[in-house]
Amino acid sequence: MKKALVLVGGGRAHVEVLRQLAVKPLTDIDIALFDPSPSVWQSGMLPGVIAGHYAANDAKVNLWALCQRARVRFFEAPILAVNGENQRIESGFGERHRFDILSLDIGGVTKALPTAPGAYVVSTRPIEPLLSAITEFESVRSAALIVRVIGGGATAVEIALALAWRWRDAKNRRVSIVCDALLLSEFPPAARRLALRACQRHGVTVRENSPVRQIDPTRLRLENGNLIDTQLTILATGYSPRPLLEKSVLTKTDEGCVAVDAQLQCLRLPGVFAAGDCADIAGLKVPKASVFTDRQGALLAANLLAALQGHPLLSYQHSPRALRFLTLGDRRALVTRGNLVLAGGWAWNMKDARERKWLRRYSFE
Ligand X SMILES: Cc1cc2nc3c(=O)[nH]c(=O)nc-3n(C[C@H](O)[C@H](O)[C@H](O)COP(=O)(O)OP(=O)(O)OC[C@H]3O[C@@H](n4cnc5c(N)ncnc54)[C@H](O)[C@@H]3O)c2cc1C
* 7 touches ligand X (CB under 6 A): no
* 79 touches ligand X (CB under 6 A): yes
Q: With contacts defined by CB under 6 A, name the span among 38-46, 192-200, 202-210, 252-260 that binds ligand X.
A: 38-46
Residue of 22, 54, 105, 258 that binds ligand X (CB under 6 A)? 105
Cβ 52 vs Cβ 327: under 8 Å: no
Q: With contacts defined by CB under 6 A, name the span among 33-41, 145-153, 175-183, 252-260 that binds ligand X.
A: 33-41
Q: In a 3-state reduction of DSSP, which class is residue 11?
A: coil
Alpha helices in the chain (DSSP H): 12-23, 46-51, 63-70, 128-140, 154-166, 189-201, 243-246, 290-309, 345-363
Q: In a 3-state reduction of DSSP, which class is residue 227?
A: strand
Residue of 20, 87, 103, 124 that binds ligand X (CB under 6 A)? 124
* 152 touches ligand X (CB under 6 A): no
Q: In a 3-state reduction of DSSP, which class is residue 277?
A: helix
Give the residue among 193, 363, 258, 330 at the shortest CA–CA distance from 9: 258
In the bound state with ligand X, the residue whose beta carbon lies nearer, of 106 and 222, is: 106
Q: With contacts defined by CB under 6 A, name the span among 36-44, 197-205, 264-272, 308-316 that binds ligand X.
A: 36-44
Tally the residues of the chain.
365
Alpha-carbon Rg for the chain in angstroms = 21
* 103 touches ligand X (CB under 6 A): no
Q: With contacts defined by CB under 6 A, name the span among 185-193, 195-203, 246-254, 270-278 that binds ligand X.
A: 270-278
* Total of chain residues touching ligand X, rule CB under 6 A: 33
Cβ 42 vs Cβ 2: under 8 Å: no
Cβ 44 vs Cβ 58: under 8 Å: no
Residues engaged in binding ligand X (CB under 6 A): 8-13, 34-37, 40, 43-44, 46, 78-79, 105-107, 124-125, 155, 242, 244, 276-278, 288-291, 293, 325
